[in-house]
A and B are shown apart, each in its own frame.
Chain A
Amino acid sequence: ETGVTQTPRHLVMGMTNKKSLKCEQHLGHNAMYWYKQSAKKPLELMFVYNFKEQTENNSVPSRFSPECPNSSHLFLHLHTLQPEDSALYLCASSQEGHSNQPQHFGDGTRLSIL
Chain B
Amino acid sequence: DAKTTQPPSMDCAEGRAANLPCNHSTISGNEYVYWYRQIHSQGPQYIIHGLKNNETNEMASLIITEDRKSSTLILPHATLRDTAVYYCIVSGGSNYKLTFGKGTLLTVNP
In chain A, positions 17-54 with a C-beta closer than 8 Å to chain B are 42-43, 45
Which listed segment binds A: B8-16, B17-25, B60-68, B91-99? B91-99
Interface residues of B (CB under 8 A from A): 32, 34, 41-46, 49, 91-92, 96-102
**Can you name the residue of chain A whose Cβ is closest to the Cβ of B91?**
A100
Instruction: Assess the A45–B98 pair: CB atoms within 8 A.
Output: yes
Interface size of A in residues (CB-CB distance below 8 Å): 19
Interface residues of A (CB under 8 A from B): 2, 4, 6, 42-43, 45, 90, 92, 97-100, 102-108
Write the nearest CB–CB distance from A44 to chain B, whole angstroms.
Answer: 8
Instruction: Assess the B45–A102 pair: CB atoms within 8 A.
Output: no
Contact check: which of B96, B100, B102 meets A100 at CB < 8 Å?
A: B96
Write the nearest CB–CB distance from B42 to chain A, whole angstroms.
Answer: 5
Write the nearest CB–CB distance from A28 to chain B, whole angstroms.
Answer: 16
Instruction: Assess the B46–A43 pair: CB atoms within 8 A.
Output: no
Inter-chain pairs besides A43-B100, A100-B92, 4 sampled, C-beta below 8 Å: A42-B100, A43-B44, A102-B49, A103-B46
> How far, in angstroms, from A92 to B101 measured CA to CA in the complex?
17
Contact check: which of A42, A45, A100, A105 meets B43 at CB < 8 Å?
A: A105
7 contacts between A and B (CB under 8 A): A4-B43, A42-B99, A90-B44, A100-B32, A102-B34, A105-B46, A107-B43
> How far, in angstroms, from A106 to B91 measured CA to CA in the complex?
20
Contact check: which of A43, A105, A108 meets B45 at CB < 8 Å?
A: A105
> How far, in angstroms, from A45 to B96 measured CA to CA in the complex?
12
Which B residues are in CB contact (< 8 Å) with A2? 43, 45
> How far, in angstroms, from A2 to B44 measured CA to CA in the complex?
10
> How far, in angstroms, from A99 to B46 measured CA to CA in the complex?
15
> How far, in angstroms, from A103 to B44 measured CA to CA in the complex?
9
> How far, in angstroms, from A19 to B62 measured CA to CA in the complex?
42
> How far, in angstroms, from A4 to B34 measured CA to CA in the complex?
19
Write the nearest CB–CB distance from A14 to chain B, whole angstroms.
Answer: 24
Which B residues are in CB contact (< 8 Å) with A90? 43-44
